Structure 1
Amino acid sequence: MGDAESSGVKSIRRDLRNEVDNLLSLLSKSTMLHTLVVLNSNKESMRFSEIERRVESSATTLSRRLTELEEYGLVTRTEFTDSQVTRVEYALTDDGVALHPSLESVFEWVLHKSSDSRIQSLETPCSTQVTTGSGGEV
């Protein structure tokens, strides 16, 4: 492989690492993973109020997260107007659904790595909605 090809490959690898960094930065934001888990657990689109109730987040934070997910191409936002009332529903895109197995793997890794017996006894929230002792979803 020549020097020009080598620098081209290095550039592509750098771009790939940057894309991964961008995705990880997005996913690490407050309530982001929980929002994705909730959307994935429901095969139909969901109204904002239902997502808000299940994620247990402020409307402002959830609105920001849904917008960011939409901008990244992981969520669709659809408006429906019935007479004078407009409702908005959100759903995962094909890319959002395709991300699910990777998230599941991360949760599995943490479950196996954890020394906390409470965490070890859980199923991953990607596969099953689990509740905490206080009744809230994980």
Structure 2
Amino acid sequence: MFKKDCIEHELACMVDYRGKTICILPSEKILNVLGKKYTLLIIALLGNQKRVKFNDIMKKTGCPRPNLLSIRLRELEELGLIKKRIMGENRPLSVEYMLTRDGKKLRSLIIPILAWIEENSKN
């Protein structure tokens, strides 16, 4: 989606940011994924370590179902925020996940938001 789409939506999706007008429609897909359960936890967790194994992500996030975690990880991978590395040639394979450069940038924006939430949820 481009600015043309914003114009068709009567500029409802246009916001001012640092002196520029930007269209927020392209961010809709990313925001949709980020708003899903466990997504922010996964991004925060992956930034704490260089590589994290699937089972460790599952334990540390509290995600109850492997298929749900797989979906979240796939969504983040499709957005280019994480990458998957398959280790070993023999069964069982070990799968590790890590943040990409874009994932690290996003995490640096998310952590202050999570800190703000923690500070303000004490009331």
| TM-score bracket for this pair, using the shorter chain length | 0.7 to 0.9
TM-score computed with the length of structure 2 as normaliser: 0.73
Residue 76 of structure 2: aligned partner: 69
15-24 or 63-72, which moves further after superposition? 15-24
In 1, the alpha carbon distance for the partners of 2:68 and 2:61 equals 10
Structural mapping, 1:21-100, within 5 Å: 21-42=28-49, 44-57=50-63, 58-100=65-107
In 1, the alpha carbon distance for the partners of 2:35 and 2:89 equals 36
Q: Is the partner of 2:86 in helix, strand or coil?
A: strand
Equivalent pairs: percent with the same residue?
Answer: 25
Larger helix percent: 1
Residue 131 of structure 1: aligned partner: none
Residue 101 of structure 1: aligned partner: 108
Q: In the TM superposition, what is the alpha-carbon distance from 1:115 to its structure 2 partner?
A: 5.5
Structure 2: tracts of 5 or more residues without a match = 8-12, 15-21
In 1, the alpha carbon distance for the partners of 2:76 and 2:114 equals 20
Q: Over aligned residues, Cα RMSD in angstroms?
A: 2.3
Q: In the TM superposition, what is the alpha-carbon distance from 1:104 to its structure 2 partner?
A: 2.1
66-75 or 23-32, which moves further after superposition? 23-32
Number of matched residues?
A: 107
106 and 86 in structure 1: CA distance in 2 versus 1, 3 angstrom threshold: same
Q: Which amino acid aligns with 1:54?
A: K
TM-score computed with the length of structure 1 as normaliser: 0.66
**Structure showing greater Rg:** 1
